Each structure stands twice: as structure tokens, then as C-alpha cells.
Amino acid sequence: MLAIFFRPPPIIARMVFFTLLFGAWEIASRAGLFSRFIAPPPSEIIPAIGLLYSDNELLIRLLRTFGEVFAAAGLGALGGMMIGWWLHRNKDAGEAFTDWFAALAAAPLVLLFPLFLVLFGRNASTIIAMGAVSVLPPVILKTKEGLDHVPQVIINVGKTFGLTRWQEIRMIMLPACLPTVFTGLRLGLIFALINVVGVEYLIGFGGMGLMIAELGDRFEIAGMYAAILFVVLCSAFFFWFTARLESWLLQAR
């Protein structure tokens, strides 16, 4: 019993943490420790989610944003895995360019949005292209890492059974590197969401990012926080979903 009290299950610990956090926020806001205009209390933010649904077409904007996220993630993942495979196969290219892609992963790529505006215009193509570029570095690096660490002894065993090159890739390489590659895909999905919402906010076009910008311009601060909270909750759900999908794939491989 005492062990449960001092070391509660993760879900209980998270619930207690967020209850204390939002409770302290509520008390501090109502006590006037900081302005409600800057950070309204949670009791005003959470009900504002319902108003967003009725007044600001929340569902439509959410579907638009996540449609752009998945399009960007799909394009970035496809390109990233192809480049990662090339860096794995071509050792000279791997030595020459891997560090550059690692540096690119740490760069604030969202600052390139003026260039993409010139190339694609103020539309969904710019948002998807920016999201896809942000997906590339983690997928490239993790794909190469996963392929580089496939044990050579397993590949040699496959060769003794007379496997073709495609059978070797499908039956040995992909299952062996799947956990590492999936980590890159999950990171890429997070980067895509961050960049898509950020670019929507910057260029004033799209879904949730545009909604947050419009609410801020109208000084609907509670609604703006509610929109941000809703995006965070949705991204947490998709992160959980991809984790469950990864577990299922690892069991089925």
C-alpha cells in the first residue's frame, strides 16, 4: 500500500501532476499574481474549447491541419527513407553528408518560410513543403542508423539460404531496423506538426495555426489558449497512437 502511495502508476502520477499544475494556475490567476489577459485561469480556457467548436469551425480547421501534417509526414518519410538507404549503401556519401543532415535537424527550418512562399505561393503547398522538409532529417538519420546496425551475421545467414536481394531487404533488413526507423518516423511526425501549425500562423493560411492567429488578433486570449491546448492534446493522442502502432508492428514482424 505504501509502495503505491510513494510510487504511483504513471497515469496516476500524470493526473496528480496536471491537477496540481492547473490548480496552482487557477489560484494564482484569481489571486492576481499575474494578469488574466496574459494567462487566463483554466476555468475560462477549458469552456472556450466548446465555443471554438461552435464559432470557429474547430473540426474543419483541425482536419485541415492534420491533413497537411500527414501529407507532409508521408512525403518526408518517403524521401527520408530513400535518402537514408542511399547513405547506408554508399559509404562515401554516408561519411560526407550524415553530419550535414544531423546539423539540419537542429536548424530552425521554419525560418525558410519566405523562400517557400516565393516558390509555392500562399497556399497549402507551402505548408506541406515546409512540413516535409522538417521531417527529412530525423527520418534520414534514423533510417541510416537502423540499417547500419543490422547484424552482419543475420545477413550472412540469409545469403546461405539463397535469398534474393529483395527477399533479404524484406525479410531481414526491414524487420531488423524497424524499431529505429519508427523512432525517426515518430520524430518526423512531431516536427511536421510543429512546422505546419507554425507556418499556418506565420502566413495566415490553413487550419489551427490560422485560428490561433485570428483569436490572438481579436484579443480572445482564453480562446487562443484553448486552441493551443486542443492542438497539444491532439498531438499527444497521435503520439500515443503511433506508439501503439509501433508496438503492434514489432509484434507482427
Q: Is the pLDDT of residue 250 over 70?
A: no
Name the residue with higher pLDDT: 129 or 249: 129
Per-residue pLDDT tens digits for 72-82: 999 999 999 99
* Lowest pLDDT segment from 57-66, 161-170, 212-221, 228-237: 161-170
Separation of alpha carbons 133 and 127, rounded Å: 10
Q: Would you state the pLDDT for residue 128?
A: 93
Q: Say if residue 253 is exposed, middle or buried (CB neighbours under 10 Å; 0-12, 13-18, 19+).
A: exposed
- Does the 47-252 domain belong in CATH 1.10.3720.10? yes
Looking at residue 132, its pLDDT comes to 93
Share of the chain above pLDDT 70, in %: 94
How much is the pLDDT for 75?
A: 94
Amino acid identity of 167? Q
Mean pLDDT, the chain, rounded, equals 83
pLDDT digits (tens, 9 = 90+) for 148-173: 888 888 777 777 777 777 777 778 78
CA atoms within a 13 Å half-sphere pointing along the CA-CB vector of 154 = 15
